[in-house]
Amino acid sequence: MTQLEYSLLIAPTESQLPKFSYTQHAEFWKAEIMLFPDDKRDAKLRLELLSAMIESFLDGILIFTTEGELILSNEYARRICSKLTPPSANHAIPTEIWRVCQSLIESRQLFPQKKIIIESEIQINASIQLRIRARFLELKSGSDRLLIVTVEDYQQYTQSIAIADAKKYHLTDRETQVWQLRRANFSYQQIANQLYITINTVKKHLKNIHAKQQSIFW
């Protein structure tokens, strides 16, 4: 059972969301016509370059129409979608993601002049929590039929941040383990149980971590 939480953001400037990619050869000509209606001669090369770039991103990327027709996606997005509720007969997109997109479409109708981003956090189970962002894909043609969605594994994100912190603050291996769990919202007791140490040892490690963080600013 999934839990959804929505938030609406009015983007003050152009979002820095990744561009798009194509994933199946059969979809190529459809994507070329929709995304590059006036530049078919170079569209194939441009899509191939973007495909190689987008497939290297950690986040999942999905692009589809306001009618729910999937146009483009990368491998990570497809893996994430396979863990979600199977799509309905009317849409090729998992139900949880389509609900976020419906909120975006409805918000666009209420605020037609605003650049809107809808954020949602989905708790799939105890170990998987996703952060979804949806917005309209703005094209030079002025079409507003395409939506771009990024799907981020929240735990993977927090782990990446913890590892970056470990390098930045020169944490020991044990401090890094403690910090990774703390960043994942583990309690002191849960950290102690996970690492087979006492709560006092957990507190000691966290005290050392905070001291190292503070030393950077002095």
Instruction: Indicate the residue type of 190.
Output: Q
Report yes or no on 40 lying in a domain: yes
Domain hosting 109: range is 3-155
Question: Encoding tokens for residue 31?
Answer: 């994507």
Same domain, 78 and 129: yes
* Shared domain check, 174 and 110: no
Number of domains in the chain: 2
Based on the domain organization, do 98 and 193 belong to the same domain? no
Residue 162 lies inside a defined structural domain of this protein:
no
Does residue 187 share a domain with residue 103? no
C-alpha distance from residue 40 to each of 33, 45, 46, 73, 98 (Å):
7, 10, 10, 21, 30
Least confident of 13-27, 36-50, 113-127: 13-27
Do 115 and 198 reside in the same domain of the chain?
A: no
Six token digits for residue 3:
């839990």
pLDDT at position 38 is 53
Q: What is the CATH number of the domain that holds 97?
A: 3.30.450.20
Distance CA 58, CA 152 (A): 8
Write out the H or E segment, with its range, that includes residue 78: helix 75-81
Q: Choose the final residue of a domain: 155, 178, 193.
A: 155
Helix (H, G, I), strand (E, B) or coil at 73: strand
Q: What is the pLDDT of residues 161-208, one digit of tens each?
A: 888 899 999 999 999 999 999 988 899 999 999 999 999 999 999 999
DSSP 8-class letter at 58? S
54 & 151 share domain? yes
User: Of the candidates 155, 178, 196, which is a domain's last residue?
Assistant: 155
What are the residues facing 8 on neighbouring strands?
Answer: 118
Ranges 83-87, 105-109, 151-155, 183-187: which has the least confidence: 83-87
Bridge-based pairing of strands 128-136 and 3-10 is unpaired
The three-state DSSP-derived secondary structure of 114-175 is CCEEEEEEEEEECCEEEEEEEEECCCCCCCCCEEEEEEEEHHHHHHHHHHHHHHHCCCCHHH
Does residue 163 belong to any structural domain of this protein?
A: no
Between CA 162 and CA 211 the distance in angstroms is 16
Q: Tell me the per-residue pLDDT of 41-96, one tens digit each, with 9 for 90 and over.
A: 566 777 677 777 777 776 888 888 888 888 888 888 888 888 776 655 555 688 88
End-of-domain residue from the set 132, 155, 178:
155
Q: Give the CATH number of the domain where residue 189 resides.
A: 1.10.10.10
Residues 156, 178: Cα–Cα separation, whole Å: 16
Alpha-carbon gap, residue 184 to 129, rounded angstroms? 11
Residue 21: inside a domain, yes or no?
yes
In sequence order, the 6+-apart residues with CB closer than 8 A to the CB of 22 are 28, 31, 47, 51, 72
For residue 20, pLDDT over 50 is answered with no
Is there a single domain that holds both residue 108 and residue 183?
A: no
Residue 161 lies in a domain: no
Residues 184 and 81 in one domain: no
Residue 160 included in any domain: no
Mean pLDDT over 105-124 rounds to 86
